[in-house]
Amino acid sequence: MKKGLFITFEGMEGCGKSTQIHLLAEELKLAGREIVVTRSPGGTPVAERIRAILKTRTDGEDLAPETELLLFGACHAQMTRTLITPVLERGAILLCDRFFDSTTAYQGYARGLDMDMVLRVNRFACGFVQPDLTLLLDIDPVQGIERSRNRAALETDRFDSEKMKFHRDVRAAFLDLAEKHRDRFRVIDASLEVSQVHAQIMEAVHARLENL
Ligand SMILES: Nc1ncnc2c1ncn2[C@@H]1O[C@H](COP(=O)(O)OP(=O)(O)OP(=O)(O)O)[C@@H](O)[C@H]1O
Ligand SMILES: [Mg+2]
């Protein structure tokens, strides 16, 4: 029987997921909990190899959107069986940087693949495993992109309106998912300072822990 807690972090690039996962992990460890941090795509040796295909360009060949969806599915199937389920069964708290809600938002809503198929792939990959709590770090894409740029110091990267539309679509998709799954989603205002974002996250996590 499952005893742990599965928390996922969602939101656009640069919204602060890595920063906040680190802070939450440190605080929960101080409270004496076993914490496992992982990421999607990735987190197991096989899933990391699938991540490499998803994240790096292959010379002379693009990934078809359908291939991309199925690779995310393969990755989630592997993560679920070899990492997520065992970690939760032994009672640990698992913090995951993105999970299948990102697939729904990016491949389903923003890239426009058949939504029913996206949801079916997610369900086939993960079975009954789903997050107990999904923290959506919501931020205006202009501010999110600014943060990513500061981090990467990519000053040459032009502010491209097509890309902005894509990021706005992704934001709307995540907010729609949060509305549809209010039982497990909490929308966090990620535009604030790091400590204020962390405080909102601690409140959401404590509320969930009290309800266990
Ligand atoms: N609340 C905040 N206020 C200002 N800067 C922040 C805040 N949170 C994070 N940052 C900074 O913004 C940048 C992006 O943050 P972070 O890497 O945590 O985002 P991310 O969601 O993990 O991005 P990615 O999806 O690309 O991995 C980092 O340089 C980080 O230090
Ligand atoms: Mg990150």
pLDDT in tens, 2-20: 689 999 999 999 999 999 9
Task: Determine whether the shortest distance from the Cβ of 197 to ligand 1 is under 6 A.
Answer: yes
Torsional class of 24: left (φ above 0), alpha (ψ -120 to 50), beta (otherwise): alpha
Query: Which residue, chain included where needed, has tokens 């994240």?
Result: 55
**How many whole angstroms from 146 Cα to the centroid of ligand 1?**
10
The greatest distance separating any two alpha carbons of the chain, rounded to the nearest whole angstrom, comes to 52
Residues, CB-to-ion distance under 5 Å, ligand 2: 17-18
The pLDDT of residue 89: 96
Residue carrying structure tokens 């690039």: 13
Question: pLDDT below 70 — which residues of the chain?
Answer: 1-2, 152-162
pLDDT at position 75: 98
> Candidates 18, 188, 201: which one to mutate for ligand 1, based on the most atoms within 8 Å of Cβ?
18
Residue with the smallest CA separation from ligand 1 atom 28 is: 151
Q: What is the pLDDT of residue 161?
A: 67
The reply to whether ligand 1 has any atom less than 6 angstroms from the CB of 196 is: no
Which residue, 102, 121, 108, 68, is CA-closest to 174?
102
Two structure tokens written together for 170: 């992704």
Inter-residue contact 178 to 208 (CB < 8 Å): no
Neighbour-count burial of 147, counting CB atoms closer than 10 A to its CB (0-12 exposed, 13-18 middle, 19+ buried): middle
DSSP 3-state percent helix, strand, coil across the chain (nearest 5): 60, 15, 30
Tell me if 17 CB under 6 Å of ligand 1. Answer: yes
Binding site membership of 151 for ligand 1 (Cβ less than 6 Å): yes
**What domains can you pick out in the chain, each with its CATH number?**
5-210 (3.40.50.300)
Contacts of 3 (CB under 8 A, 6+ apart): 88, 89, 90, 91
Cα 138 to Cα 9, 51, 119, 173: the distances in Å are: 11, 24, 22, 11
Q: How many CA atoms lie within 13 A of 156 on its CB side?
A: 0
